[in-house]
Amino acid sequence: MDELNLLQSDKITSLRAQVGVEAMPALLDIFKQELQQYIGQIEGVAVSAESREMIARTCHAIKGSAPSFGATLLAEKASEMDAFYKQQQLTDFDKQCDELISLLRRTVFKLEQLQDQLQ
């Protein structure tokens, strides 16, 4: 995955135009905190029916919020995992968890870089 495309600049520009330059840092911080919360929920969780359901709910939430911030790669991974879960392709679902965590971490890092640029 291309690190440069973790956050699409056109979406960020559009979002900034919608909410205003002043509100942008706070909005990015809310999204970053949301992603950090997801990392905490998923990371190190033993695979079970209950944990899969929790991760699937997390993926569903990510695929809803990530596109608004231009985090298309993250949204695509979450959507893929959501589909695996719904189709009961649990082996494929389980294999994607580490990649989801990695993508969440890298997206958080890019958000931090963007926040630094806005200050």
Domain boundaries, the chain: 9-118
Give me the phi and psi of 91, to 5 degrees please.
Answer: -65, -45
- C-alpha dist (Å) from residue 31 to 42, 89, 115: 17, 29, 11
Contact 82, 24 (CB under 8 A): no
Mean pLDDT score, 65-83: 95
Rounded CA-CA distance 72/84 in Å is 18
pTM, two decimals, is 0.90
- List of residues 6+ apart from 31 with CB closer than 8 A: 65, 69, 111
pLDDT at 4: 60
pLDDT tens column, 56-67:
999 999 999 999
- List of residues 6+ apart from 49 with CB closer than 8 A: none
pLDDT at 3: 58
Residue pointed to by tokens 């919020």: 65
Q: What is the CATH number of domain 9-118?
A: 1.20.120
Mean pLDDT score, 88-111: 95
